């Protein structure tokens, strides 16, 4: 079977070319005459569209192959070779990465189209699309890379784009600080990733440092070493995918334009950590303790973020915390060794979360950048398309039976129960109820009841087609994506799980039907309770309450940011300034300074010989020559 | 026999050397250098005669040619120096003083 493909490299290359072209065009015209937005729009969507087609081609190519040995590789060039470390710029398409690239390119393309409408009239229209294309290219490198090193290139690339796009409205200082925060917090995670990668190379890297070789050699790993590698890699994942303790950057990342929040900070980039854990399932499968840590960190993040989400008043913050919470579910899934369930939740979540963000963007646009849900209300009448698509998105997020989010979340919870992680399952069900509550709290406040701000309400109108059509497409995805992995109990055959089987190292527990029905029942009950409470409190319209006690504490995010600032940032800054004031000038630079002083002294001493008169120099020559001849006559004899 | 020539050569060379070191007039210095060159020439020719070989003669001819070229250049430099400072005292030209 032929396992090489020549077009894999083109998939990330297309958006990257777009980024360079658009970036240069914007750079050379940003001070003078502007290029029409139409030109940028066409160039911006060209790359993603071609990538989507190539991703589909890869998918069909793989599907035509026999199930065992279903993968394609392309080695573009040898990147570097140091001792045993031989790293190629290579790409690997196997069921896991193909699933990822298909939805990344698809959702990425839709969001590019949406952005044409959302960003219309912006001063830096070209710059925005250059960054967006660059992001898509980096994300595809991350997913398609054939080894940890190539993955890291994409990993850093998406981090950079995230930083650039969060601080896109750079005239506002808060946005710039939010960008810095995201970048720095991610750096902490990246350190873990690099350490994990180095340890992995040190342990089993000599037999080749791409996934296929590593997977073959994973059995040689000592248990303690495997655990250390898994935990370090997970530190990287907590940074990128916003888990405890590094989740703090994601809510602030909402400072960026809304399509960015949808694409980068909800649908694709933040799921990179989950993808990475699933990609290294052959390591995690041998380190059950690491899996347990991942599962608990995930589910506790889900709980914490859900608590925060219940008390936020910025529509994008609510969605941001729901993203953190759903990411927690995904980690719970991969942590309990249900990798396919975790990845499937990544897949369905991408649809409904992108939908929710784009819907929120549509609302924000209509209300002239009003983001406070306590100042909205009654928008159902004004924005029917946004209303219905948002309703589907909210139902999917809340886990309404028969929609996408229900199947994937339920699969994770059932797998947690079946694999014996009862505690994880219990917390997961509680979080499911909270999810339903805060989702519909937001939904009712925005679309139902009486308008709270009559002035803004009267100007609101439905968004243009270029924005609503992506919403409709995503809504279709949010309804039907779940059916791709229908479990046997609903008469399905779990296509996604079977598709992913050859990429993952996964045990399939044989839970009883009773247990499955029990898990599903609990999920539906949680959904019902959550939505009922939200209905009771917010259906008829409520006024903004005074936050007191626990609500105030949760609204202020348990003061985690302030805590980090006091415990980590301030001491760190103090150490930095101490080093700058004491260590650097007097210790590390000391010997440099002393040597310059000594050389000065030496120069001053020997200056006396430079008298400037030609005849004295002639005298020196005579002396020198005499000494030389004397020396030679002595040695030659 | 050869010793007489060499003694004369050394005496001429030392006179030239002393002239270069002690005199301040540019022309005198220049003439002293010529004296040193010719002292060397004398030694070459004397040795050539002693060894009955043409090598010394060849070198002597070459030194003369080089000396002629050097004289042409040096005189041009002297003229420029004079134009610059209106003096031919070597102590005036001491830009290299540290």
Classify residue A607: in a domain, yes or no. Answer: yes
Q: Measured between beta carbons, which residues in chain A are less than 8 angstroms from residue B29?
A: 614-615
What's the pLDDT tens digit per position in A27-77?
Answer: 888 777 788 888 899 999 999 999 999 999 999 999 888 887 888 899 888
Residue A306 has pLDDT above 80, yes or no: yes
Classify residue A396: in a domain, yes or no. Answer: no
From A616, which residue of chain B is nearest by alpha-carbon distance? Answer: B21
Classify residue A12: in a domain, yes or no. Answer: no
Classify residue B96: in a domain, yes or no. Answer: no
Q: Which residues of A474-483 are buried (b: 16+ CB within 10 A; e: fewer)?
A: bbebbbebbe
Residue A1 has pLDDT above 70, yes or no: no
What pLDDT score was predicted for residue A503? 84
Helix residue ranges per DSSP H, A205-337: 211-217, 223-240, 249-252, 258-262, 272-279, 281-284, 288-309, 315-335
What pLDDT score was predicted for residue A424? 92
From A604, which residue of chain B is nearest by alpha-carbon distance? Answer: B98
What pLDDT score was predicted for residue A585? 87
Q: What angle do CA B84, B89, B90 make, to 5 degrees?
A: 90
What's the pLDDT tens digit per position in A272-304?
Answer: 999 999 999 999 988 889 999 999 999 999 999
Q: Measured between beta carbons, which residues in chain A are less than 8 angstroms from residue B97?
A: 610-612
Classify residue B25: in a domain, yes or no. Answer: yes
Classify residue A26: in a domain, yes or no. Answer: no
pTM comes to 0.80
CB A115 within 8 A of CB A132: yes
Residue A482 has pLDDT above 90, yes or no: no
Question: Quick one: average pLDDT of A361-383?
Answer: 85
CB-hemisphere CA count at 13 Å for A356?
Answer: 32
Residue ranges making up the domain that contains A630: 602-637
Question: Quick one: average pLDDT of A86-91?
Answer: 88
**Backbone torsions φ then ψ of A459, nearest 5 degrees:** -90, -15
Q: Residue B49 is part of a domain; what is its CATH number?
A: 1.10.287.3510
What's the pLDDT tens digit per position in A237-260?
Answer: 999 999 988 999 998 888 888 888
Say how many domains are in chain A.
Answer: 1
B20 touches chain A (CB under 8 A): yes
Classify residue A615: in a domain, yes or no. Answer: yes
Shortest Cα–Cα distance, A591 to chain B (Å): 27
Question: Quick one: average pLDDT of A80-87?
Answer: 84
3-state secondary structure of A88: strand
Select the residue from A600, A603, A610, A612 to test the B interface by mutation, using most B Cβ atoms within 10 A: A612
CB A323 within 8 A of CB A262: no
* Arithmetic mean of pLDDT over chain A: 89
Say how many domains are in chain B.
Answer: 1
Interface contact flag, A614 B90, Cβ < 8 Å: yes
Strand partners, A78: A88
Nearest beta carbon to residue B17 from set A613, A614, A622: A622
Q: Which two tokens stand for residue A248?
A: 């703090």
Question: Quick one: average pLDDT of A175-188?
Answer: 92
Classify residue B97: in a domain, yes or no. Answer: no
What's the pLDDT tens digit per position in A543-572?
Answer: 777 787 788 888 888 888 889 989 988 999
Classify residue A606: in a domain, yes or no. Answer: yes
What's the pLDDT tens digit per position in B11-70?
Answer: 999 999 999 999 989 899 999 999 999 999 999 999 999 999 999 999 999 999 999 999
Classify residue A27: in a domain, yes or no. Answer: no
Residue B98 has pLDDT above 80, yes or no: no
Nearest beta carbon to residue B95 from set A606, A612, A622: A612
Classify residue B19: in a domain, yes or no. Answer: yes
Classify residue B41: in a domain, yes or no. Answer: yes
Interface contact flag, A619 B21, Cβ < 8 Å: yes
From A612, which residue of chain B is nearest by alpha-carbon distance? Answer: B97
Residue ranges making up the domain that contains B25: 2-89
């Amino acid at each position: 079977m032929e396992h090489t493909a020549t077009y894999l490299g083109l998939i990330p290359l297309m958006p990257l070319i777009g980024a360079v072209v658009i970036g240069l065009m914007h750079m050379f015209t940003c001070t003078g005459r502007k290029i029409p937005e139409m030109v940028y729009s066409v160039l911006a969507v060209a790359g993603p569209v071609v990538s989507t087609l190539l991703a589909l081609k890869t998918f069909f190519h793989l599907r035509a192959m026999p199930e065992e040995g279903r993968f394609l590789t392309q080695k573009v060039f040898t990147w570097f070779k140091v001792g045993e470390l031989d790293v190629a710029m290579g790409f690997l398409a196997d069921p896991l990465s193909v699933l990822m690239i298909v939805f990344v390119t698809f959702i990425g393309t839709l969001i590019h189209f949406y952005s044409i409408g959302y960003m219309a009239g912006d001063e830096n229209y070209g710059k925005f699309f250059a960054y967006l294309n660059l992001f898509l290219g980096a994300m595809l490198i991350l997913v398609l890379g054939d080894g940890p090193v190539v993955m890291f290139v994409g990993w850093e690339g998406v981090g950079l784009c995230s930083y650039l796009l969060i601080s896109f409205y750079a005239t506002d200082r808060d946005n710039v600080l939010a960008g810095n925060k995201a970048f720095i917090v991610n750096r902490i995670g990246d350190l873990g990733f690099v350490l994990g990668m180095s340890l992995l190379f040190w342990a089993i890297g000599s037999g080749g440092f791409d996934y296929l070789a590593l997977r073959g050699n994973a059995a040689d790993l000592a248990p303690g070493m495997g655990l250390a590698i898994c935990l370090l890699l997970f530190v990287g994942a907590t940074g990128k995918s916003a888990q405890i303790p590094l989740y703090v950057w994601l809510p602030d990342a909402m400072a960026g334009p809304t399509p960015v929040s949808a694409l980068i900070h909800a649908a694709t980039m933040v799921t990179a950590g989950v993808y990475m854990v699933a990609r290294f399932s052959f390591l995690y499968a041998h380190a059950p303790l690491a899996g347990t840590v991942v599962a608990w960190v995930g589910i506790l993040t889900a709980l914490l973020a859900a608590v925060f989400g219940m008390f936020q008043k910025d529509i994008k913050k609510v969605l941001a915390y729901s993203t953190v919470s759903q990411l927690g579910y995904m980690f719970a899934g991969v942590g309990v060794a249900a990798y396919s369930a975790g990845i499937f939740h990544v897949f369905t979540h991408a649809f409904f979360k992108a939908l929710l963000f784009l819907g929120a963007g549509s609302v924000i646009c209509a209300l002239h950048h009003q983001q406070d849900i306590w100042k909205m209300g009654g928008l159902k009448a004004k924005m029917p398309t946004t209303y219905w698509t948002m309703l589907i998105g909210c139902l999917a997020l809340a886990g309404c039976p028969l929609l996408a989010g229900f199947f994937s979340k339920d699969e994770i919870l059932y797998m947690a129960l079946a694999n014996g992680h009862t505690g994880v399952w219990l917390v997961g069900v509680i979080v499911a109820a909270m999810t339903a509550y805060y989702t519909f709290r937001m939904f009712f406040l925005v679309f139902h009841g009486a308008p709270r701000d009559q002035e803004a309400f009267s100007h609101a109108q439905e968004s243009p087609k270029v924005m609503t059509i992506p919403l409709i497409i995503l809504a279709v995805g949010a309804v039907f994506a779940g059916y791709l992995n229908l479990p046997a109990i609903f008469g399905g055959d779990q296509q996604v799980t079977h598709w992913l089987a050859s990429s993952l190292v996964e045990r399939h527990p044989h839970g009883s039907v009773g247990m499955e029905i029990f898990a599903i029942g609990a999920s539906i009950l949680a959904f019902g309770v959550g939505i009922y409470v939200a209905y009771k409190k917010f259906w008829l319209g409520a006024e903004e309450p005074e936050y007191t006690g626990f609500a105030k504490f949760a609204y202020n995010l348990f003061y985690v940011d302030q805590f980090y600032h006091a415990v980590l940032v301030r001491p760190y800054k103090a150490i930095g300034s101490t080093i700058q004031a004491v260590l650097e000038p007097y210790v590390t630079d000391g010997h440099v300074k002393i040597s310059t002083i000594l050389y000065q002294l030496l120069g001053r001493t020997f200056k006396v010989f430079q008298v400037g008169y030609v005849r004295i120099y002639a005298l020196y020559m005579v002396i020198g020559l005499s000494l030389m001849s004397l020396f030679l006559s002595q040695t030659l004899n | 026999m050869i010793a007489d020539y060499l003694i004369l050569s050394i005496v001429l060379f030392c006179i030239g050397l002393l002239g270069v070191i002690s005199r301040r007039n540019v022309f005198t210095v220049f003439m002293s250098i010529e004296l040193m060159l010719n002292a060397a020439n004398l030694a070459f020719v004397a040795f050539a005669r002693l060894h009955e070989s043409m090598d010394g003669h060849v070198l002597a001819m070459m030194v003369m040619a080089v000396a002629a070229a050097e004289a042409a250049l040096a005189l041009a430099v002297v003229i420029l120096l004079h134009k610059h400072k209106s003096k031919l005292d070597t102590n005036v030209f001491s830009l290299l003083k540290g």
